[in-house]
Structure 1
Amino acid sequence: MLRLTTLIIVSFLLTACNYAALEKENDPNQPSSPQINLNLESNNQTGSQPDNQQLPPPPMDQQPTATPAPNLASSAVIVTSLGDITIKLFPDKAPLTVSNFAGLATGTKTWTDPRTGGQKTGEPLYNNTIFHRVIANFMIQGGDPLGTGTGGPGYKFQDEIAPDLVFDRPYLLAMANSGPNTNGSQFFITVAPTPWLNGKHTIFGEVVGGQEIIDQIATAPTDSNDRPLEDITIKVIQITP
């Protein structure tokens, strides 16, 4: 009888713990940060690229630490399969980040193809990539040449956190990362104020046209990994000085 009573108590406690964990995990007020997923094997997504291996961390890039070019990009148009998104860039607040984004968009910056390990020069990284992670009332994320959340340009560079730029409104363009100073090519655009991201991600632009396209992307049907069931493609990113 004592053993049966003990089993009942243990079962009740386990059930209560599991429910609490599930409740915390599903709390809509705690969406996860737009991170670069470093665990390729355990987070493989439907339609991801092959070569399901753990990749070594890329080296810090020495180029973005140099003084940026004087005529930095001031705007960008993300041409997607659903329509165009126009971005006002912030080269005065995040010059290294804007320079990196523009260089990868135009092919003027060399990057490493994560599929082959080969160097790419004169070839835009963002062309024909997808928005691999979208969450309604939070953000849309893209910029991964693999389309899985695990890829990047083969290097990383430092954050540029401007104290007067905060996630207090929707439609901000910022860098995804896997921790401090791990920026590469992945970026996200918010669709709501996200103050819990303040100080953690470099904001380097703001949407000034095509907000309805972003809302359409953010509400697309997704799988359990927040990947759209139908690919939403970035055809090209056009940069204006």
Structure 2
Amino acid sequence: MKKTSILIILISVLFLSGCSLGSREVKIEKPALESNAISILDIQKKAEQNVKDAAQKEQEKINKAMENAGLDDLSFVKKYSKATIKTNMGNIEVEFFGKDSPITVNNFMKLASEGFYDGTKFHRVIKDFMIQGGDPNSKDDDWSDDGMGGPGYAFKDEFNSKKLVRGSLAMANSGPNTNGSQFFVVTAEETPWLDGKHTNFGKVTDGMDVVDKIEAMEANENDHPLKDAVIKGIELK
């Protein structure tokens, strides 16, 4: 009888253990390789999202800067299409690509109308390449900061299908969407390495001889001309 009781107890314990095991959630750990692969995908997705978020924030900053600078007002480009850049070495006549680069053209015209460019110099000249100007820092005799100035804001690029060739008027920049006031005139026959990197917003229609004279000026090791080529004023037409 005693043996029978013990046997019944053992059978009961085993039965209850089986029921308990059956009621538990069975978890199978994922293989290490699969877990690592999922982690890498998660990291990649987060990185891609971070890039998108950063790009969106940068675009919002650019849009805000453009709004504050009044660049959404295209009143100048609707009124004018040409200009005379008057320098101490002669006049340069330009025609703008208002339909292709309206914000860029309007910005240039707005600054010109305010006298922003008056007294600035062509601070960088490279033979068989280009002449660069439009920096307010170039108004004084301190050359150390020439090429580093601007209007206090930056705006987006407006690339178009027009190639940067001899006589092209384009924006100088320090990277994507960093346009301000500095510009350059191409003196080389063509510059394919610049296409898609600098906004082409106009062309010289008369006065390339003046551009060539500025380009031919003697310069130092930093391409800064040793004599002044000054913009006396810009007349919009």
Question: TM-score under structure 1 normalisation?
Answer: 0.66
1:198 to 195, 206, 211: 195
Query: How far apart, CA to CA, are the structure 2 residues paired with 1:134 and 1:77?
Result: 20
SS at match of 2:66: coil
SS at match of 2:166: coil
- Cα distance, 1:125–1:67 mapped onto 2, change above 3 Å: closer
2:102 to 95, 99, 109: 95
Structure 1 residues 166-204: Cα deviation after superposition (integer angstroms, max 9, x where no partner):
12x201000000101100000000001111000000000
Higher helix share: 2
- Cα distance, 1:64–1:194 mapped onto 2, change above 3 Å: farther
Largest Rg, 1 or 2? 2
The RMSD of aligned alpha carbons is: 1.8
1:60 to 59, 65, 88: 65
2:82 to 71, 75, 78: 75
Post-superposition shift, 1:65?
A: 5.3
Query: How far apart, CA to CA, are the structure 1 residues paired with 2:206 and 2:88?
Result: 16
2:174 to 173, 178, 189: 178
Query: How far apart, CA to CA, are the structure 2 residues paired with 1:237 and 1:174?
Result: 16
> Which residue in 2 is equivalent to 1:115?
none
> Which residue in 2 is equivalent to 1:233?
230
Identity %: 47
Post-superposition shift, 1:60?
A: 3.1
2:215 to 200, 209, 218: 218
Post-superposition shift, 1:142?
A: 0.2
C-alpha contact 1:73 1:98 (8 A) present in aligned 2: no
Query: How far apart, CA to CA, are the structure 1 residues paired with 2:215 and 2:129?
Result: 8
Q: Give the aligned length.
A: 166
Post-superposition shift, 1:72?
A: 3.9
TM superposition outliers: structure 1 runs of 4+ over 4 Å: none
For 1:131, the aligned partner's letter is F
Query: How far apart, CA to CA, are the structure 1 residues paired with 2:72 and 2:93?
Result: 28
Structure 1 residues 89-125: Cα deviation after superposition (integer angstroms, max 9, x where no partner):
1111110011100000011xxxxxxxxxxxxxxxx11
Post-superposition shift, 1:71?
A: 1.8
Query: How far apart, CA to CA, are the structure 1 residues paired with 2:117 and 2:92?
Result: 14
Structure 1: 5+ residue runs without aligned partners? 1-57, 108-123
2:137 to 139, 146, 159: 146
Query: How far apart, CA to CA, are the structure 2 residues paired with 1:225 and 1:239?
Result: 32
1:156 to 154, 157, 167: 154
